[in-house]
Structure 1
Amino acid sequence: MENVKLMGLKFIVSLAILYMILGVGFDVSFGNVFLITLVLGIVSYVLGDKLILARSNNMTATIADVVLAFVVIYIMTDALTVGNTVFEATLISTISLGIFEYFFHQSVARTLNGSNDTKRVVKRKKASRQLSMEASEELTPDDPHNKEER
């Protein structure tokens, strides 16, 4: 349930940011902004927030999200709109979303720290660090000179 809430929050805030920049500032239609936000939200939540943030820190996940956002916004804006200001629109949108992502990752980390998924990952990491001894049935190595019948 927490994932649905976080994805919803990310989608709404990203839609507002992208509509203010792309829609109002660069005359991209609301439908196109909605589609860009939908694709970007799903891809960046799965890759940036669930995979990268879970295995690294906030700054690494934010940088990955910024790069991902730039690629997705640039490709989709270029494909869906006609104009020569695609790079400027993408750059401004990406910087704005990067600032939001930095604070959103802190919220994700705080929210998911208490969930069972994070606890299971932490327990698995701790268990993999523990060393165990392997034992065998043979106490002495085989001596080729002293063969006994078995």
Structure 2
Amino acid sequence: MTFESIYKKVAPIVHKTRKDYYIQLWDQEDWDQEGMLTLSRLLTACPGIENNEGELFRFFKTKFRNYVLDMVRKQESDKRKLNRQNYEEVSEVAHKLYIREMATADRVILRDMLEQYRQALPEPLQDNFDRLMGGEVFRGRKDMLRDLKIYLKDFKQ
């Protein structure tokens, strides 16, 4: 018996579960894929179960529905609201998108101000400034960031 033929037997369980529960961003192929993964795990955990259709259906239905319920709980959990993805077609909301990119003139001014700040620093701190611009961590980094923030307070993007 091939895996595909076994999956065809349990596919109606997947399709009925799909009608009963909603999981964001899952389409028909996703449901089938998750059903196949569940079936594969079941066949690995219980060798020979494919020969007993009654147990196969019962075990698969329990395992698959429990998995789907876990996904629904995860989707609806207050702790995981950040995991929710609101899907909107980009072509429908393209007019709302604002790309926040610095204009060339602002970029030149910022680079000039940063270079002036660097030149005003004593020589040992200039090395720390270079490390700061490289994203490195060093002693005194917070103080330098605070000073730089004060120095750049008049800079508007």
The answer to whether TM tops 0.5 is no
Shorter-chain TM-score bucket reads: 0.3 to 0.5
- Report which structure shows greater RCO (CA 8 Å, sep ≥6): 1
Q: What is the TM-score when the length of structure 1 is the normalising length?
A: 0.34
Q: What is the TM-score when the length of structure 2 is the normalising length?
A: 0.33
